[in-house]
Protein backbone atom coordinates (compact mmCIF):
# COMPACT_ATOMS: atom_id res chain seq x y z
CA UNK A 1 0.00 0.00 0.00
CA UNK A 2 2.78 2.33 1.03
CA UNK A 3 4.65 1.50 -2.18
CA UNK A 4 1.57 2.23 -4.28
CA UNK A 5 1.16 5.59 -2.56
CA UNK A 6 4.78 6.40 -3.35
CA UNK A 7 4.32 5.48 -7.00
CA UNK A 8 1.20 7.64 -7.21
CA UNK A 9 3.10 10.51 -5.61
CA UNK A 10 6.00 10.09 -8.01
CA UNK A 11 3.65 10.09 -11.02
CA UNK A 12 1.87 13.17 -9.70
CA UNK A 13 5.17 14.98 -9.17
CA UNK A 14 6.30 14.03 -12.68
CA UNK A 15 2.97 15.21 -14.15
CA UNK A 16 3.40 18.51 -12.30
CA UNK A 17 6.88 19.17 -13.60
CA UNK A 18 5.79 18.09 -17.06
CA UNK A 19 2.96 20.59 -17.01
CA UNK A 20 5.28 23.42 -16.06
CA UNK A 21 7.78 23.03 -18.86
CA UNK A 22 7.27 25.68 -21.51
CA UNK A 23 8.07 25.00 -25.09
CA UNK A 24 8.63 27.91 -27.43
CA UNK A 25 7.81 28.14 -31.12
CA UNK A 26 10.40 27.26 -33.80
CA UNK A 27 10.71 30.97 -34.68
CA UNK A 28 11.34 31.86 -31.02
CA UNK A 29 13.88 29.05 -30.89
CA UNK A 30 15.63 30.54 -33.90
CA UNK A 31 15.91 33.87 -32.08
CA UNK A 32 17.38 32.09 -29.04
CA UNK A 33 19.88 30.27 -31.28
CA UNK A 34 20.84 33.49 -33.05
CA UNK A 35 21.41 35.23 -29.70
CA UNK A 36 23.60 32.38 -28.46
CA UNK A 37 25.48 32.26 -31.73
CA UNK A 38 26.26 35.99 -31.56
CA UNK A 39 27.57 35.69 -28.02
CA UNK A 40 29.66 32.66 -29.06
CA UNK A 41 31.22 34.82 -31.78
CA UNK A 42 31.97 37.58 -29.24
CA UNK A 43 29.24 39.76 -30.78
CA UNK A 44 26.01 41.29 -29.58
CA UNK A 45 22.97 42.99 -31.11
CA UNK A 46 22.39 46.70 -30.62
CA UNK A 47 18.85 47.85 -29.87
CA UNK A 48 16.88 50.98 -29.09
CA UNK A 49 13.46 51.58 -27.59
CA UNK A 50 10.89 53.14 -29.96
CA UNK A 51 13.50 53.83 -32.67
CA UNK A 52 11.09 53.95 -35.64
CA UNK A 53 8.46 56.16 -34.02
CA UNK A 54 10.28 59.36 -33.16
CA UNK A 55 13.68 60.92 -32.53
CA UNK A 56 15.27 64.08 -31.25
CA UNK A 57 13.65 66.41 -33.80
CA UNK A 58 10.90 64.40 -35.52
CA UNK A 59 7.90 62.15 -34.97
CA UNK A 60 6.17 59.50 -37.08
CA UNK A 61 8.04 59.91 -40.35
CA UNK A 62 8.12 56.59 -42.17
CA UNK A 63 11.60 55.12 -42.59
CA UNK A 64 13.37 57.60 -40.30
CA UNK A 65 15.46 56.73 -37.25
CA UNK A 66 18.09 58.75 -35.36
CA UNK A 67 20.53 55.84 -35.22
CA UNK A 68 20.18 55.13 -38.94
CA UNK A 69 20.75 58.78 -39.75
CA UNK A 70 23.98 58.65 -37.75
CA UNK A 71 25.50 55.33 -38.86
CA UNK A 72 23.50 54.06 -41.83
CA UNK A 73 21.60 51.23 -40.17
CA UNK A 74 18.63 50.87 -37.86
CA UNK A 75 19.21 49.02 -34.59
CA UNK A 76 18.95 45.22 -34.72
CA UNK A 77 16.63 45.14 -31.71
CA UNK A 78 13.40 47.11 -31.53
CA UNK A 79 12.07 47.78 -28.04
CA UNK A 80 8.38 48.66 -27.51
CA UNK A 81 6.26 49.20 -24.41
CA UNK A 82 2.69 48.06 -23.80
CA UNK A 83 1.90 50.59 -21.02
CA UNK A 84 -1.77 51.71 -21.26
CA UNK A 85 -2.86 48.70 -23.33
CA UNK A 86 -4.45 47.57 -20.07
CA UNK A 87 -6.74 50.61 -20.18
CA UNK A 88 -7.93 49.74 -23.67
CA UNK A 89 -6.27 52.90 -25.01
CA UNK A 90 -5.26 53.08 -28.64
CA UNK A 91 -1.90 54.70 -27.77
CA UNK A 92 0.74 53.63 -25.26
CA UNK A 93 1.94 55.70 -22.32
CA UNK A 94 4.40 57.56 -24.55
CA UNK A 95 1.81 58.29 -27.21
CA UNK A 96 2.73 55.52 -29.67
CA UNK A 97 -0.43 54.22 -31.40
CA UNK A 98 -0.66 50.45 -30.96
CA UNK A 99 -1.51 50.09 -34.66
CA UNK A 100 1.71 51.86 -35.61
CA UNK A 101 3.61 49.71 -33.12
CA UNK A 102 2.14 46.50 -34.57
CA UNK A 103 3.14 47.49 -38.09
CA UNK A 104 6.65 48.51 -37.03
CA UNK A 105 7.13 45.21 -35.19
CA UNK A 106 6.17 43.27 -38.34
CA UNK A 107 8.43 45.40 -40.55
CA UNK A 108 11.33 45.07 -38.14
CA UNK A 109 10.94 41.30 -37.91
CA UNK A 110 10.60 40.97 -41.69
CA UNK A 111 13.84 42.93 -42.06
CA UNK A 112 15.57 40.31 -39.89
CA UNK A 113 15.35 42.17 -36.59
CA UNK A 114 14.62 41.08 -33.03
CA UNK A 115 11.71 42.49 -31.02
CA UNK A 116 11.44 43.05 -27.28
CA UNK A 117 8.42 44.31 -25.35
CA UNK A 118 8.26 45.74 -21.83
CA UNK A 119 5.16 46.82 -19.94
CA UNK A 120 4.99 49.94 -17.75
CA UNK A 121 1.57 48.77 -16.57
CA UNK A 122 -0.51 51.07 -14.39
CA UNK A 123 -1.21 50.42 -10.74
CA UNK A 124 -4.46 48.42 -10.76
CA UNK A 125 -5.46 49.37 -7.23
CA UNK A 126 -4.69 53.09 -7.03
CA UNK A 127 -5.45 53.71 -10.73
CA UNK A 128 -2.23 55.71 -10.93
CA UNK A 129 0.87 54.86 -12.97
CA UNK A 130 3.47 52.07 -12.71
CA UNK A 131 5.61 54.26 -10.44
CA UNK A 132 2.92 54.52 -7.75
CA UNK A 133 4.37 52.51 -4.88
CA UNK A 134 2.07 53.94 -2.21
CA UNK A 135 0.27 50.65 -1.58
CA UNK A 136 2.17 47.48 -0.77
CA UNK A 137 -0.83 45.17 -1.10
CA UNK A 138 -1.16 45.64 -4.87
CA UNK A 139 0.70 42.51 -5.96
CA UNK A 140 -1.18 40.34 -3.46
CA UNK A 141 -4.47 41.82 -4.63
CA UNK A 142 -3.98 40.81 -8.27
CA UNK A 143 -3.01 37.21 -7.44
CA UNK A 144 -5.57 34.43 -7.33
CA UNK A 145 -8.01 35.06 -4.48
CA UNK A 146 -7.09 38.76 -4.33
CA UNK A 147 -9.57 41.64 -4.61
CA UNK A 148 -8.30 42.75 -8.04
CA UNK A 149 -7.61 39.36 -9.58
CA UNK A 150 -10.50 39.34 -12.04
CA UNK A 151 -9.81 42.89 -13.12
CA UNK A 152 -6.17 42.02 -13.58
CA UNK A 153 -6.97 39.00 -15.76
CA UNK A 154 -8.79 41.48 -18.00
CA UNK A 155 -5.55 43.51 -18.22
CA UNK A 156 -3.53 40.41 -19.08
CA UNK A 157 -6.09 39.59 -21.74
CA UNK A 158 -5.62 43.00 -23.38
CA UNK A 159 -1.86 42.44 -23.53
CA UNK A 160 -2.39 38.90 -24.84
CA UNK A 161 -4.69 40.18 -27.59
CA UNK A 162 -1.97 42.56 -28.75
CA UNK A 163 0.62 39.76 -28.67
CA UNK A 164 -1.77 37.54 -30.64
CA UNK A 165 -2.07 40.22 -33.30
CA UNK A 166 1.67 40.02 -33.99
CA UNK A 167 1.38 37.54 -36.83
CA UNK A 168 2.51 37.44 -40.42
CA UNK A 169 0.21 36.83 -43.41
CA UNK A 170 0.96 33.10 -43.28
CA UNK A 171 -0.01 32.90 -39.62
CA UNK A 172 3.55 32.79 -38.26
CA UNK A 173 3.64 34.25 -34.77
CA UNK A 174 6.40 36.86 -34.50
CA UNK A 175 8.80 35.91 -31.72
CA UNK A 176 8.96 38.52 -28.97
CA UNK A 177 11.33 38.87 -26.04
CA UNK A 178 8.75 39.75 -23.37
CA UNK A 179 10.12 41.56 -20.34
CA UNK A 180 7.40 42.33 -17.82
CA UNK A 181 7.93 43.19 -14.13
CA UNK A 182 11.35 44.68 -14.78
CA UNK A 183 13.80 46.38 -12.40
CA UNK A 184 12.12 44.64 -9.49
CA UNK A 185 15.28 44.69 -7.36
CA UNK A 186 14.65 48.43 -7.11
CA UNK A 187 11.57 49.87 -5.43
CA UNK A 188 10.20 52.39 -7.93
CA UNK A 189 7.50 50.24 -9.53
CA UNK A 190 4.51 48.75 -7.67
CA UNK A 191 6.07 45.26 -8.16
CA UNK A 192 9.41 46.40 -6.65
CA UNK A 193 11.46 44.90 -3.89
CA UNK A 194 10.12 46.87 -0.96
CA UNK A 195 6.52 46.73 -2.19
CA UNK A 196 5.99 42.98 -2.37
CA UNK A 197 7.47 39.77 -0.98
CA UNK A 198 9.62 37.40 -3.05
CA UNK A 199 6.77 34.87 -3.06
CA UNK A 200 4.30 37.47 -4.32
CA UNK A 201 6.67 38.58 -7.07
CA UNK A 202 7.29 35.03 -8.22
CA UNK A 203 3.54 34.30 -8.24
CA UNK A 204 2.90 37.44 -10.29
CA UNK A 205 5.51 36.37 -12.83
CA UNK A 206 4.26 32.79 -13.04
CA UNK A 207 0.64 33.89 -13.34
CA UNK A 208 1.62 36.17 -16.26
CA UNK A 209 3.63 33.50 -18.06
CA UNK A 210 1.02 30.76 -17.47
CA UNK A 211 -1.73 33.06 -18.72
CA UNK A 212 0.13 33.77 -21.97
CA UNK A 213 1.12 30.12 -22.36
CA UNK A 214 -2.46 28.94 -21.86
CA UNK A 215 -3.56 31.21 -24.68
CA UNK A 216 -1.09 29.48 -26.98
CA UNK A 217 1.43 32.33 -27.02
CA UNK A 218 4.48 30.13 -27.43
CA UNK A 219 6.28 32.91 -29.33
CA UNK A 220 7.16 34.75 -26.09
CA UNK A 221 10.75 34.52 -24.90
CA UNK A 222 10.77 35.58 -21.26
CA UNK A 223 13.48 37.99 -20.09
CA UNK A 224 14.15 38.58 -16.40
CA UNK A 225 15.70 42.00 -15.74
CA UNK A 226 16.77 43.06 -12.25
CA UNK A 227 18.27 46.51 -11.89
CA UNK A 228 21.99 47.27 -11.69
CA UNK A 229 23.56 48.26 -8.39
CA UNK A 230 24.11 46.33 -5.18
CA UNK A 231 23.45 43.03 -6.88
CA UNK A 232 24.83 39.88 -5.34
CA UNK A 233 23.86 36.44 -6.61
CA UNK A 234 21.51 36.20 -3.68
CA UNK A 235 19.75 39.47 -4.52
CA UNK A 236 19.67 38.66 -8.25
CA UNK A 237 18.13 35.24 -7.63
CA UNK A 238 15.93 36.08 -4.64
CA UNK A 239 12.88 36.59 -6.85
CA UNK A 240 13.88 34.33 -9.75
CA UNK A 241 10.73 32.57 -10.99
CA UNK A 242 12.60 29.42 -12.07
CA UNK A 243 14.23 28.03 -15.19
CA UNK A 244 10.91 26.96 -16.72
CA UNK A 245 9.64 30.52 -16.52
CA UNK A 246 12.65 32.49 -17.73
CA UNK A 247 14.60 32.27 -21.00
CA UNK A 248 17.04 35.20 -20.79
CA UNK A 249 18.90 36.56 -17.76
CA UNK A 250 18.99 40.32 -18.11
CA UNK A 251 20.23 43.40 -16.37
CA UNK A 252 19.05 47.03 -16.61
CA UNK A 253 21.84 49.52 -16.00
CA UNK A 254 22.04 53.30 -16.39
CA UNK A 255 25.09 55.39 -15.65
CA UNK A 256 28.45 56.82 -16.64
CA UNK A 257 32.00 57.06 -15.32
CA UNK A 258 34.73 54.67 -14.15
CA UNK A 259 32.83 53.44 -11.11
CA UNK A 260 29.82 52.58 -13.27
CA UNK A 261 32.09 50.60 -15.62
CA UNK A 262 33.63 48.71 -12.72
CA UNK A 263 30.41 47.86 -10.93
CA UNK A 264 28.66 46.95 -14.17
CA UNK A 265 31.53 44.67 -15.20
CA UNK A 266 31.31 42.90 -11.86
CA UNK A 267 27.56 42.51 -12.01
CA UNK A 268 27.59 41.40 -15.66
CA UNK A 269 30.28 38.86 -14.83
CA UNK A 270 28.03 37.53 -12.09
CA UNK A 271 25.02 37.38 -14.46
CA UNK A 272 27.20 35.58 -16.98
CA UNK A 273 28.15 33.01 -14.36
CA UNK A 274 24.48 32.50 -13.51
CA UNK A 275 23.68 32.27 -17.22
CA UNK A 276 26.14 29.41 -17.59
CA UNK A 277 24.77 27.64 -14.50
CA UNK A 278 21.19 27.95 -15.73
CA UNK A 279 21.99 27.53 -19.41
CA UNK A 280 20.44 30.90 -20.36
CA UNK A 281 21.70 33.67 -22.62
CA UNK A 282 22.34 37.00 -20.93
CA UNK A 283 21.58 40.57 -22.07
CA UNK A 284 21.73 44.20 -21.08
CA UNK A 285 17.95 44.39 -21.36
CA UNK A 286 18.08 48.20 -20.85
CA UNK A 287 21.02 50.52 -20.56
CA UNK A 288 22.13 54.03 -21.29
CA UNK A 289 23.20 57.40 -20.03
CA UNK A 290 20.28 59.82 -19.79
CA UNK A 291 21.01 62.84 -22.00
CA UNK A 292 24.16 61.17 -23.42
CA UNK A 293 26.39 63.87 -21.95
CA UNK A 294 29.54 61.77 -22.30
CA UNK A 295 30.50 61.96 -26.02
CA UNK A 296 32.40 58.67 -25.68
CA UNK A 297 29.81 56.72 -23.75
CA UNK A 298 29.44 54.02 -26.39
CA UNK A 299 33.09 53.03 -26.81
CA UNK A 300 34.50 54.03 -23.42
CA UNK A 301 31.67 53.09 -21.09
CA UNK A 302 29.35 50.41 -22.38
CA UNK A 303 31.80 48.57 -24.66
CA UNK A 304 34.39 48.57 -21.87
CA UNK A 305 31.88 47.37 -19.28
CA UNK A 306 30.80 44.46 -21.50
CA UNK A 307 34.23 43.59 -22.89
CA UNK A 308 34.77 39.84 -22.93
CA UNK A 309 31.37 39.16 -21.34
CA UNK A 310 29.00 37.15 -23.56
CA UNK A 311 26.03 39.54 -23.62
CA UNK A 312 23.69 38.72 -26.52
CA UNK A 313 22.17 42.17 -26.94
CA UNK A 314 21.89 45.58 -25.38
CA UNK A 315 19.00 47.99 -25.62
CA UNK A 316 19.37 51.72 -25.05
CA UNK A 317 16.29 53.69 -24.11
CA UNK A 318 14.29 56.09 -26.29
CA UNK A 319 15.21 59.38 -27.96
CA UNK A 320 12.24 61.48 -26.92
CA UNK A 321 11.48 64.51 -29.12
CA UNK A 322 13.25 67.48 -27.60
CA UNK A 323 10.16 69.65 -27.41
CA UNK A 324 8.38 66.99 -25.36
CA UNK A 325 11.17 65.91 -23.02
CA UNK A 326 14.41 67.89 -23.24
CA UNK A 327 17.51 65.80 -22.63
CA UNK A 328 15.74 62.45 -22.71
CA UNK A 329 17.99 60.87 -25.32
CA UNK A 330 20.08 57.70 -25.17
CA UNK A 331 21.52 57.43 -28.70
CA UNK A 332 22.99 60.16 -30.91
CA UNK A 333 21.15 62.02 -33.66
CA UNK A 334 22.91 63.87 -36.52
CA UNK A 335 24.91 66.75 -35.08
CA UNK A 336 25.18 65.30 -31.58
CA UNK A 337 28.61 65.37 -29.88
CA UNK A 338 28.80 61.56 -29.70
CA UNK A 339 28.30 60.88 -33.42
CA UNK A 340 31.96 59.99 -34.15
CA UNK A 341 32.15 57.74 -31.13
CA UNK A 342 28.91 56.02 -32.12
CA UNK A 343 30.24 55.38 -35.63
CA UNK A 344 33.29 53.71 -34.03
CA UNK A 345 30.88 51.62 -31.94
CA UNK A 346 28.89 50.74 -35.07
CA UNK A 347 32.07 49.73 -36.90
CA UNK A 348 33.38 47.68 -34.02
CA UNK A 349 33.31 44.01 -35.11
CA UNK A 350 31.48 43.10 -31.90
CA UNK A 351 28.31 45.12 -32.61
CA UNK A 352 25.48 43.88 -34.82
CA UNK A 353 22.89 46.21 -36.35
CA UNK A 354 19.86 45.55 -38.56
CA UNK A 355 22.12 45.64 -41.67
CA UNK A 356 24.01 42.68 -40.24
C1 LIG B 1 10.87 55.89 -18.82
C2 LIG B 1 10.82 57.25 -19.49
C3 LIG B 1 9.37 57.63 -19.48
C4 LIG B 1 8.55 56.59 -20.23
C5 LIG B 1 8.82 55.21 -19.69
C6 LIG B 1 8.16 54.13 -20.52
O7 LIG B 1 12.15 55.50 -18.54
O8 LIG B 1 11.31 57.18 -20.80
O9 LIG B 1 9.24 58.89 -20.11
O10 LIG B 1 7.19 56.88 -20.13
O11 LIG B 1 10.19 54.96 -19.64
O12 LIG B 1 8.61 54.14 -21.84
Nearest-CA residue for ligand 1 atom 8 is 318
Going by CA atoms, what residue is nearest to atom 9 of ligand 1?
A: 94
Instruction: Determine the distance separating the centroid of ligand 1 and the alpha carbon of 351, expressed in angstroms.
Output: 25
318 Cα–ligand 1 center, Å: 8
Q: List, for residues 144-157, the tens digit of each pLDDT value.
A: 999 999 999 999 99
Closest atom of ligand 1 relative to the 318 alpha carbon: 8
Q: Each residue of 210-241: pLDDT tens digit?
A: 999 999 999 999 999 999 999 999 999 999 99
| Average pLDDT rounded to a whole number, residues 68-74 | 98
Instruction: State residue 21's pLDDT score.
Output: 75
Which numbered atom of ligand 1 lies nearest the CA of 81?
12
Whether the predicted pLDDT of 18 surpasses 60: no
Nearest to 257 by CA among 294, 227, 308, 303: 294
pTM of the predicted model as reported, rounded to 2 decimal places: 0.94
- How far, in Å, is the centroid of ligand 1 from the Cα of 172? 30
Q: Write down all domains in the chain, each with its CATH number in brackets.
A: 41-352 (3.20.20.80)
Provide the pLDDT for residue 2: 52
Tell me the pLDDT of the chain averaged across its residues: 95
Amino acid sequence: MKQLALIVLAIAAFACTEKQVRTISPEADTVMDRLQQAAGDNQFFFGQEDYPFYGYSWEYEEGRGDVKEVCGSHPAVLGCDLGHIELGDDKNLDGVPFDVMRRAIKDHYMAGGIVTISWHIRNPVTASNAWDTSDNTVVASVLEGGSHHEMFLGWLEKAALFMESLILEDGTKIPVIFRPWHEHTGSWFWWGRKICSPEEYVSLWKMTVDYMKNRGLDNLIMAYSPNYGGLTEQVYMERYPGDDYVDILGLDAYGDGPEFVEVLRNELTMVSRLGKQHNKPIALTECGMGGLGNPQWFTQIILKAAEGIPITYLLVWRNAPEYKMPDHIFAPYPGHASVDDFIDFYQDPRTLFLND
